[in-house]
Amino acid sequence: MGRRDGGRCRAGEPVRVPTVERFLVTGGARLAGTVEVAGAKNSVLKLMAAALLAEGTTTISNCPEILDVPLMADVLRGLGAEVVIEGDTVVITTPAELSHHADFPAVGRLRASVCVLGPLMGRCRRAEVALPGGDAIGSRPLDMHQSGLRAMGATMNIEHGKVVGRASSLHGASIGLDFPSVGATENILMAAVLADGTTIIDNAAREPEIIDLAQLLAQMGARIDGVGTATITIEGVDPVFMTAPLERLSRAGAQIDTEQDAVTVTMAERPRAVDFITMPYPGFPTDLQPMALALAAVADGHSLITENVFEARFRFVDELIRMGADARTDGHHASLRGREQLSSAPVWSTDIRAGAGLVLAGLAAEGVTEVHEVMHIDRGYPHFVEDLQKLGGQIERVG
C-alpha cells in the first residue's frame, strides 16, 4: 500500500504520534437544538470542476467552508482559472485557453481533483491528470472513467502516475457502467456536454451531487457557445435525499419529523440495534457508515454492518475498539454488540467520515476522548465543533 498520509506506516498501521491539533470530546451531555445543514463537499467540488467547461465567470454560493474547497481552488488555478473564495461564495473565472496538465501537489491531496478529467477532455481534447489522493478508504481505480471516455473516441492510459487522455474529436456514445460510480458518471457527463451527438450513460450514479451537477450543466449548456456566466445557487440537502438513513434511525427508535428544509431527530432512550448495508444511492450511503458504527457501538443488541462500496472502510473500527466497542470485522461485515457506554481513549481519524464517527462515539463515551488528525474532519465538515457545541455537545478544539 502506498504511503497516503504522514501519520501511517507502510503496512497501513497507524503511527500513534499525538498530533498538536486535536479535539477533546467529553461524553455524557444530552444533545438537543438546531444546526444549519451546510452545502455538501461532494457537490461543491464537482461544481467547481464544471466551471472549467465554459469561458467566463461561475459563482457558486452556499459552499461549505471546508479545507477541500481551497485545495480544489489550487487545482483550478494550476489549470489557468482564477478562483476567489469569500466566505461561502466561490467565484471562478475560466479563461479561453486552459492548461491540460493537472500535475502539481494540490491534485494529489484530494480525490475530487480527478473530476477535472472530464472537463479537460471536453474543452481541450487532452488531459494529463496526476492520480488523485484523498482518503484511504479502499482502492479507487479509474477504469470506468477511462472506458467511458474511450467509448467517446479518446485514447486513455495511465502513464507515469498520471491518467493521460487524447482525442482528435469526442463523439456521443452509449456507455454502460459496471457499477454506478459517482466519479465516473461525473467525468463522462462533463465530457459529454462538449461532445458531438448524444451520449447515453447506463447504470449512472444517482447520488444527489449528480443531480446538482446535471442542473449546473443544463444551465451552462445554453451559454457554452459564447463567453458565459453561470450563476448557481446551491440549496441545502433536501431531507428527501436522506430517506435510507432516516429510515434506519427510525428503526433504531428515533422520532423523525421532516419539513421542507429541516429534519428533527429525537432519540428519547438508548437506540435499538439495527443492521446497515451500504449501497449506491438511494441505498444507505457508505459515507454515513462510520456514524452507523458509532450508533451500533452503543445500541441495545447486536448489529451487523455490511460495507459494499469501499473495502478498507472498516479500518477505523480498531479505534472504536480502543473506546471499548465490542466489535469485530470480517471482510465486508462488521458485527457489533452494543455496550451501554463507551470509554474515552486517544483515537486517530483515518479519513473524513471516520473522524466524524469517532467524535460521535466520543460524545457517547464516559470521559474525555482525544480525537487526533482532525484535519480529516476539517476537510469535509464546516463548523463541526461549533455545530456540536450548539447542540450542547462538549467538544473543543485544542492545539
- Residues with a catalytic annotation lie at 135
Among 18, 105, 141, 236, binds ligand UD1 (CB under 6 A): 141
- Assess 183 for contact with ligand UD1 (CB under 6 A): yes
Among 2, 15, 34, 139, binds ligand UD1 (CB under 6 A): 139
Which range binds ligand UD1 by CB under 6 A, 25-33, 76-84, 141-149, 250-258? 141-149
Minimum CB separation of residue 164 from ligand UD1 in Å reads 16
The angle at the Cα of 318, spanning 317 to 319, to the nearest 5 degrees, equals 90
- Assess 122 for contact with ligand UD1 (CB under 6 A): no
Pairing of strands 101-102, 89-94: unpaired
Binding mask 271-310 for ligand UD1 (x = CB under 6 A): --------------xxx---------------------xx
Which range binds ligand UD1 by CB under 6 A, 136-144, 215-223, 249-257, 342-350? 136-144
Which range binds ligand UD1 by CB under 6 A, 98-106, 182-190, 191-199, 212-220? 182-190
**CB neighbours (10 Å) of residue 168?**
8
Residues numbered 325-364 forming contacts with ligand UD1, rule: CB under 6 A:
none
Rg (CA), the chain: 21
DSSP-H helix ranges across 152-207? 182-192
Q: What is the DSSP letter of 284?
A: B
Q: Are 98 and 120 in contact (CB under 8 A)?
A: yes
Binding mask 224-263 for ligand UD1 (x = CB under 6 A): ----------------------------------------
Q: Which CB atom, from 140 or from 322, has the smaller least distance to ligand UD1?
A: 140
Q: Are 203 and 177 in contact (CB under 8 A)?
A: yes
Q: Are 247 and 279 in contact (CB under 8 A)?
A: no
Q: Which CB atom, from 181 or from 344, has the smaller least distance to ligand UD1?
A: 181
Tell me which amino acid residue 23 is: F
Q: Which residue has the cell 471562478?
A: 92
Residues numbered 59-118 forming contacts with ligand UD1, rule: CB under 6 A:
111-112
Minimum CB separation of residue 353 from ligand UD1 in Å reads 7
Q: Which CB atom, from 290 or from 393, has the smaller least distance to ligand UD1?
A: 290
- Assess 182 for contact with ligand UD1 (CB under 6 A): yes
Grid cell, residue 162, equals 498520471
Grid cell, residue 264, equals 428533527
Q: Which CB atom, from 105 or from 141, has the smaller least distance to ligand UD1?
A: 141
**CB neighbours (10 Å) of residue 203?**
16
- Our CA dihedral for 52, 119, 209, 218, rounded to 10 degrees, sits at 80
Chain-centre distance for alpha carbon 315: 17
Grid cell, residue 56, equals 467566463
Q: Are 159 and 167 in contact (CB under 8 A)?
A: no
Which range binds ligand UD1 by CB under 6 A, 135-143, 228-236, 315-323, 381-389? 135-143
Closest CA to 224 of 80, 49, 51, 47: 51
Q: Which CB atom, from 122 or from 132, has the smaller least distance to ligand UD1?
A: 132
Give contact residues for ligand UD1 (rule: CB under 6 A).
42, 45, 111-112, 138-145, 179, 181-184, 205, 207, 285-287, 309-310
